[in-house]
Amino acid sequence: MEQEVGKVCLVEVPIEKSFLFQDQITIDKNLNTLREGLSYRFIQSFMNPQQKLLIVCPPTYALKELDAKANNKTLFDGKGYIKALPKGEHPYLVGQQSGMRSAIINQNGKNYRLKGCGNGTDGFTLRKFEGDIENAVEIRGCCFDHTVKRELFMNRKIEQILKKYNIETGNISIGYWQYGDVESINENLEKNLQNQMSLVPKYCGIYETIGDFRLGTHLLQGLRIITSSCVTDWSVDDIRRLVTVQSRIVENRKSPNGNPWDLNNTQFRERPQGTIFQEDDYQNNRVFDWEKEKDNVSITENLNGNSKLQNISILYQRIGYEIGKIKRIFIDNEISWGYFRDHSKFYYHSNAHLDNFVVIQNGSSLLAPVDFDLAFCKEEFINIDIDFDAQLIKSSETQENKNYGKFDLEQWLFYQDQERIGLELAIGGMDMILASHMFLSKQKTDVEDYIEILLRDQMRIGYLEGMQLKDDSSIFYQRMDKIQDIIKEALNLTQEIVS
């Protein structure tokens, strides 16, 4: 059967268990939860000893589930669903595609995110591990026992913390189901579902959600299209007139190969006052070598009156402000969004990126954070490096890690710092390296490049204010109606993109 763009069918499948969250997951640090948490750090082989299965391993104790009921019938009437292509008259639900492994369905007037309901319509598949371990694979399309519980728990914890600041999370924790034999319904499908590594339990997390328009994929891409249409008649001299800081020559921020988002052209790694990073002198952490470059460029005042570009500039600053405020709250409450290294020596997980903010339409705030399946607290953090990191002592020898399985303050601070820096680099424009220009297929002009750089500076000004928990200095609320119209226009331009 054909599916509409962005839509997906979900069919009922057998489940082993359903679980209604209701705050029935908790941190319980003991030897058993330590061992369980560390167990995912090791390569696991099922049925094929030549094939190495890697399952993501957050550096934490395992969480404890308090509700021991085998099956909770109050969650979706005890039913479970997976994305599939049903035959003929076989019953199905219609949902909205959300990434490769998720979907959003409407039940009783509420939208629910099903996170881990199949890799597209293929079921649970294998993918080659993109790292430095040969013959290693990962399971795609599902959550796991430890990650589904972690997201339910951390999402609820973060929701309670942010509520004190009148900030929403994008999802509300509801529960999960554990899949049974999903291949048993293949006779009713046009394409068979897979259940690779069938001995590994697969889970789907369930959340009430406010939507799926993402900051990076939808809002910022849409704003870039609108901005480009506003500067079609501009020259580089028009850009220069926006810049009041004489030492900041915007053309110099393009790399020799013409890519303005090169690492060597990104901005300072500031340590806002009052954070654990304050003692570091930001001037020793610059990633470019310009004299007198101590300010981000604000162009808002130099844009004409109530022009569309000025409102876009105000919007960029507000976006940065909300990101900075949320990240600072995470830091103050000793929460990591999920920055760590597990199986690969060269790859770090990080969920602190621009697409993990959902756009709130017609609200007093713009952004709501999501995706906490790898998030963790300082109180449960442990070092999971099996071997001592030789790079830390500048030695090529591998040694026993004496901190393995223990709390490691130095590593916690390092991970927190790197997570923050990665988010700051994304705000500064590094995310543009990875983003495909889905709409801007033509070669961009210098003017379009420069205005993007300056708007990212505006975002960074807001970010630094938010990180210091200052009041928003922009005139965002005074322009709220016009800015909401711009947001609606941007999202309309990108609504067909699946995040």
* pTM score above 0.95: no
- The CA–CA distances, whole Å, from 445 to 232, 259, 380, 451 equal 9, 12, 49, 10
pLDDT tens digits along 350-366: 999 999 999 999 888 99
- The CA–CA distances, whole Å, from 427 to 124, 180, 316, 453, 463 equal 34, 42, 10, 10, 8
Which of 338, 386, 349, 337 minimizes the C-alpha distance to 138? 349
State residue 113 phi and psi, 5-degree precision: -90, 125
pLDDT tens digits along 403-433: 999 999 999 999 999 999 989 888 987 766 4
pLDDT tens digits along 171-209: 999 999 999 999 999 999 999 999 999 999 999 999 999
Find the angle CA(266)-CA(390)-CA(407) to the nearest 5 degrees: 85
State residue 438 phi and psi, 5-degree precision: -65, -35
Instruction: Judge whether residue 306 has pLDDT over 50.
Output: yes
Instruction: Judge whether residue 255 has pLDDT over 70.
Output: no
Find the angle CA(65)-CA(159)-CA(277) to the nearest 5 degrees: 105
pLDDT on residue 244: 60
For the segment 134-140, the average pLDDT, to the nearest whole number, is 90
**What single letter denotes the amino acid at residue 1?**
M
SS3 192: coil
The token pair that represents 208 in the structure block: 């009430």
pLDDT tens digits along 21-58: 999 999 999 999 999 999 999 888 766 777 889 999 99
In contact, 238 and 253? CB cutoff 8 Å: no
Which of 140, 152, 214 minimizes the C-alpha distance to 177? 152
For the segment 439-452, the average pLDDT, to the nearest whole number, is 69
Q: Which residue has the tokens 């790079």?
A: 391
The token pair that represents 63 in the structure block: 């969480």
pLDDT on residue 428: 82
Which of 47, 10, 44, 8 minimizes the C-alpha distance to 146? 44
For the segment 449-469, the average pLDDT, to the nearest whole number, is 89
Instruction: Judge whether residue 102 has pLDDT over 80.
Output: yes
How many percent of the chain have pLDDT more than 90? 58
pLDDT on residue 297: 66
pLDDT tens digits along 426-441: 898 776 644 444 334 4
Instruction: Judge whether residue 139 has pLDDT over 70.
Output: yes
Residues 6+ apart with CB under 8 A from 298: 244, 457, 458, 461
Other residues' Cβ atoms within 10 Å of the Cβ of residue 141: 27
Which of 395, 19, 61 minimizes the C-alpha distance to 179? 19
pLDDT on residue 141: 97
Instruction: Judge whether residue 222 has pLDDT over 90.
Output: yes
In contact, 8 and 97? CB cutoff 8 Å: yes
Q: Which residue has the tokens 């709390």?
A: 407
Q: What is the spatial distance between Cα 65 and Cα 153, in angstroms, rounded to a whole number?
A: 10
Q: What is the spatial distance between Cα 80 and Cα 75, in angstroms, rounded to a whole number?
A: 9
User: Could you tell me whether strands 80-83 and 357-359 are parallel, antiparallel, or unpaired per DSSP bridges?
Assistant: unpaired
pLDDT on residue 296: 59
For the segment 268-293, the average pLDDT, to the nearest whole number, is 34
Domain ranges of the chain: 8-209, 215-494
Q: What is the spatial distance between Cα 385 and Cα 405, in angstroms, rounded to a whole number?
A: 8
pLDDT on residue 386: 80
